[in-house]
Structure 1
Amino acid sequence: MSFIEHFPILQNYTYLNTAYSGLLSTEIANWRRKHDENFINEGSIFRANSLEIMDELKTNLSSVFTVKRENTFLTSNCSNGLNSVLNGMDISHRFLLLQEDYPSLNYPVTSRGFDYLEIPINANLEEQILRAIEQFKPTVFAFSMVQYISGLKMQSDFIKKLKSDYPDLILIADGTQFLGTAPFNFQQSGLDVLVGSGYKWLLGGYGNGYIFLSDAARKLIYQHKKKLSLPDVPFLSGRDYLSLTLEPGHLDSLNLGTLNQGLNYLNNIGFDVIEQRIMELTAKARIALHKKGFLPYWMMERKEQSSIMSLPLHQAIVERLNNEKILVSPRGAGTRISFHFYNTENDLNHLLELID
């Protein structure tokens, strides 16, 4: 199955950089042009009609990822979504964080004055998390589902066990490097909050994101707002306190509509098919790269793996990749590669040839 006709960049580059930016398909680019043509021709009429795009996206997200629609919110990006959630949490909360997690996840916590503890990411991560919970007694554990540098993936069974063993512990996750790579059921995940941007694995372009809440989180955040009177102007009728605080102001129908189109595109392929393609190619890549000494053994042992890997490549090899039009990213102390469903074994072989 080839996707070159949908993503012309694949004709000219070996694209191993979805962890930096997902691709825009020709079909979605056509939808965006039609969207703006309608805006040009219809003005305010278009804006009134375009509000249906946001409703459709909410319904789509809640259906595909099994989230209650009333607990599904739209935002401009993951950072704004997370900040909106944190703004509604009491300062007395104690946060458990992971060292070297995404700055837009950790910094909003540490800069607000919450009490927090950061633990390192290594082969004993799960044991360290459990030890920290027992000793530090956090009320919130905030983490990325997939680490943006190393590609380490939080194990789904471990997350569910955390929620089972510590039901009062609030689990907040960044799904930006995860959602779009596999089927996902939010209600069964054990998470209380999932926030993310749609421009990577969901192929949704920039300027859009999502916030998923559990029923418990819905009752927890912005508790003080529940006692305040809501605006009574007609154009805000039907909005509740969470809608007004998590989705303030105007939403962008172009950017959010692009996310909706990306979601439709992936859903038509099938998230089970996408997961299988990613897993098969990534397994081959990990074995080959481990044999060459680029991946530590403990990363190979983990049951659930992402398609993101960080390789300790010499600068001369990095320059060789650039010259051969293999798109990758410098992250941390290494060079990050990532595979999506549109990548092929030829892409992997090309990479392996150049780093030998």
Structure 2
Amino acid sequence: MNIEQIRALFPVTKEVIYLNNASQAPLNSLVYSRLQTHLQTEINPLEKKGFNRVVIRDLLSKILGGLPEEYALTTSTGLGLGTVAQGLNFKKGDNIIIPEREHWNNAFPWLQLEQKGVEIRFAKLNEDESIDPKAIEKLIDSNTKVVAIAAVRYNSGFRPHLSAIGKIAHQKGALFVVDAAQAAGMIPIDVEKYQIDVLAGCGFKWLLGMHGTGFLYVSNRVVKMIHPVLPGMYAAERIHDKLSLFDDARKFETGTIAYSLFDAWSEGLQLVLAIGVENIYDKALENTDLIIDGLLKKEYKIISPIKKREGRTAIIHFNTGSLETTKMLYKKLKDHKVIVTLQGENIRVSPNFFNTKEEIKIFLNLV
């Protein structure tokens, strides 16, 4: 599939320069068509076929590793992480380690546990917004029950060294929990290679789905440690008057989900597989090489850590030096149909595999 064929799948490329993929994926025509087909079955339910949850689980396992039955279908990253936080047995004196300034989905579920006497320890960031595994190693002890971290930080685009952090967590017997919202589908992830116990994510960003789709991976190694807090009809064997939970991640599923959205999402996941996450990540670095070089030449302040290539992703944060002029630049880009995000004091640029060098050059000319 060449770049022209790929761009033809994304109608947004005919209207704007879309550099906002960290916020959400623009709807592609494959997912759109699949959604319309599904909706037709709602109009004529006589020919309607049941939704097969196994299809999504199988696709997720091919992209992220693990077994299909180690995946539960959820509606969001936050629901997945919250399910795990509430499903673990904590006691007063236990502690949880998370980095400073994590996304709220990977902070609020753990912070709530302070009510139970659980201590939340915040690992310090480096001056350049990166995080060193040693910052976590300094905090961990025999009372650490969870080390939780985003695979890609939403507010800098930094990619932590997951395998090193997973090793540190396991040496002390702690669970390694990863928020994959800004990573899955954009950087290579292998849950087994990286020693990930729990991985939660959403479909509407780099996995090319829509809001309302998500997943929770729980390794069979640790699944018995986490209790389902909202078991529904898909969490157990269909036996009346008896709860016989599945012995894998399916036990975390609840009731009916938005089948139309999940069915359509299967096309987005297949597209990710067809292009290949390794190729998507290579393209991310290629795009951001151009962006970083252009911004540095114009003497903008880049907030994202850029010194080490292995810590980079498709997300770059920068500003003009003042909030007022940064807002003015954001408006200028929007007026010229270049879509980015104004996040706090920074502009966040996040291209994907369908963006071209020509589009990056237009963006740089405008800034």
Above 0.5 in TM-score?
yes
| 2:185–2:272 CA contact under 8 A, matched in 1 | yes
Q: Could you tell me how far 1:327 is from its partner in structure 2? A: 0.8
What number of residue pairs does the alignment pair up? 346
Q: Could you tell me how far 1:160 is from its partner in structure 2? A: 4.6
Superposition pairs for residues 120-199 of structure 1, below 5 Å? 120-122=124-126, 123=128, 125-126=131-132, 127-133=134-140, 138-163=144-169, 166=171, 168-199=173-204
| 2:180–2:200 CA contact under 8 A, matched in 1 | yes
Give me the whole-angstrom Cα distance separating, in 1, the residues matched to 2:263 and 2:228: 31
Q: In 2 relative to 1, CA 129–64 (structure 1 residues): closer, same or farther, beyond 3 Å?
A: same
Q: In 2 relative to 1, CA 98–21 (structure 1 residues): closer, same or farther, beyond 3 Å?
A: same
Indicate the residue corresponding to 2:206 in structure 1. 201
Indicate the residue corresponding to 2:74 in structure 1. 75
Indicate the residue corresponding to 2:338 in structure 1. 326
Indicate the residue corresponding to 1:345 in structure 2. 357
Q: In 2 relative to 1, CA 235–321 (structure 1 residues): closer, same or farther, beyond 3 Å?
A: farther
2:30 to 17, 27, 33: 27
Secondary structure in structure 2 of the residue aligned to 1:258? helix
CA RMSD of aligned residues (A): 2.7
Give me the whole-angstrom Cα distance separating, in 2, the residues matched to 1:180 and 1:244: 22
Q: In 2 relative to 1, CA 41–234 (structure 1 residues): closer, same or farther, beyond 3 Å?
A: farther
Indicate the residue corresponding to 1:312 in structure 2. 319
Secondary structure in structure 1 of the residue aligned to 2:347? strand
Q: In 2 relative to 1, CA 340–160 (structure 1 residues): closer, same or farther, beyond 3 Å?
A: same
Indicate the residue corresponding to 2:62 in structure 1. 63
Indicate the residue corresponding to 1:335 in structure 2. 347
Q: Which moved more, 1:210-219 or 1:13-22?
A: 210-219
Letter in 2 for 1:5: A
Secondary structure in structure 1 of the residue aligned to 2:8? coil
Indicate the residue corresponding to 2:269 in structure 1. 263
Q: Could you tell me how far 1:257 is from its partner in structure 2? A: 1.5
| 1:141–1:172 CA contact under 8 A, matched in 2 | yes
Give me the whole-angstrom Cα distance separating, in 2, the residues matched to 1:159 and 1:100: 18
Which whole-Å deviations, capped at 9, do the CAs of 1:7-66 have from their partners, x for residues lacking one? 1111121111000010111122111001010121016x62xx3232x1111122123322
Q: Could you tell me how far 1:150 is from its partner in structure 2? A: 0.9
Structure 2 unpaired stretches of 5+: 231-235
TM, length-normalised to structure 2? 0.86
Give me the whole-angstrom Cα distance separating, in 2, the residues matched to 1:297 and 1:277: 18
2:12 to 9, 27, 33: 9
| 1:290–1:297 CA contact under 8 A, matched in 2 | no
Give me the whole-angstrom Cα distance separating, in 2, the residues matched to 1:71 and 1:235: 26
Q: Does residue 110 of structure 2 align to residue 88 of structure 1?
A: no
Q: Could you tell me how far 1:231 is from its partner in structure 2? A: 6.8
| 1:286–1:300 CA contact under 8 A, matched in 2 | no
Superposition pairs for residues 91-102 of structure 1, below 5 Å? 91-92=90-91, 93-102=94-103
Q: In 2 relative to 1, CA 352–257 (structure 1 residues): closer, same or farther, beyond 3 Å?
A: same
Secondary structure in structure 1 of the residue aligned to 2:200? strand
| 1:94–1:140 CA contact under 8 A, matched in 2 | yes
Q: Percentage identity across aligned positions?
A: 21
Q: Does residue 115 of structure 2 align to residue 103 of structure 1?
A: no
Q: In 2 relative to 1, CA 6–243 (structure 1 residues): closer, same or farther, beyond 3 Å?
A: same
TM, length-normalised to structure 1? 0.88
Indicate the residue corresponding to 2:223 in structure 1. 218
Which whole-Å deviations, capped at 9, do the CAs of 1:220-249 have from their partners, x for residues lacking one? 112999xxxx67536999852666751011
Superposition pairs for residues 277-296 of structure 1, below 5 Å? 277-291=283-297, 292-295=299-302
Secondary structure in structure 2 of the residue aligned to 1:73? strand
Give me the whole-angstrom Cα distance separating, in 1, the residues matched to 2:65 and 2:164: 20
Secondary structure in structure 1 of the residue aligned to 2:72? strand
